[in-house]
Amino acid sequence: MRTPSRLSALRRCTPAAALAACLFALGTAGAQTPSAPSAAASAAPADGAATACPATLQHTFPRLQDEKPQDLCQYSGKVVLVVNTASFCGFTPQYKGLEALDSKYRSRGLVVLGFPSNDFSQESGSNKEIADFCESTFGVKFPMFAKTSVRGANANPLFKQLALASGTTPKWNFYKYLIGRDGKVVQAWSSMTAPDEAAFVKVIESQLAAH
């Protein structure tokens, strides 16, 4: 459709009192109004926020206490210590040290994540029984997830990634994997490393100091 000329438009501007308004309208007729952002552009920030979660944490696991799905992306930007646990192991008292570690450094950005596993035949209870044991015996309050496999073909996706990035799979209960704020695996430690061991804590502190 052709746009009427300014002259013809002026002829329609009657009475004379409306002439000024018409002239103003015609003066702005050629100006282009900025178009509204496209749907894709509007979605860009949301997409950017989604990609902020590192691949290491792009997993969902059921919570130990009630099996409600938990998205690990909620821990993006934190220093994450992942530990495979068991209730009937010689290293089970490490729960106390892990809880102390989580409590001491939580405000600085540390979170301990516990994954009970029966891969070494030392975790036979139900999820509820494990949760009750951890809380009543060691006062565990750090996030715990439903019983899972942590090695071999049946290992859950997180532990497969941890094994690939660190070059080691859990050889026993209470293996420890540290993930930095950037989502990269920093280091892995065997069951023999106690949660309060000086060298171990030093690495955690150095990661907490990094921004």
Distance CA 12, CA 204 (A): 78
- State the first-to-last Cα distance of the chain, in angstroms, to the nearest integer: 58
Whether 89 is a known active-site residue: answer: yes
* Catalytic residue from among 13, 22, 89, 134: 89
d(CA 159, CA 152): 10
Q: To the nearest 10°, the Cα dihedral for 111, 194, 124, 65?
A: -20
Residue 195 to residue 197: CA distance in whole angstroms: 6
DSSP result, 113-178: EEEE--TTS---S-HHHHHHHHHHHH---S-BB-----SSTT--HHHHHHHHHHS---SSTT-EEE
How many angstroms separate the CA atoms of 12 and 98, rounded? 83
Residues with a catalytic annotation lie at 89
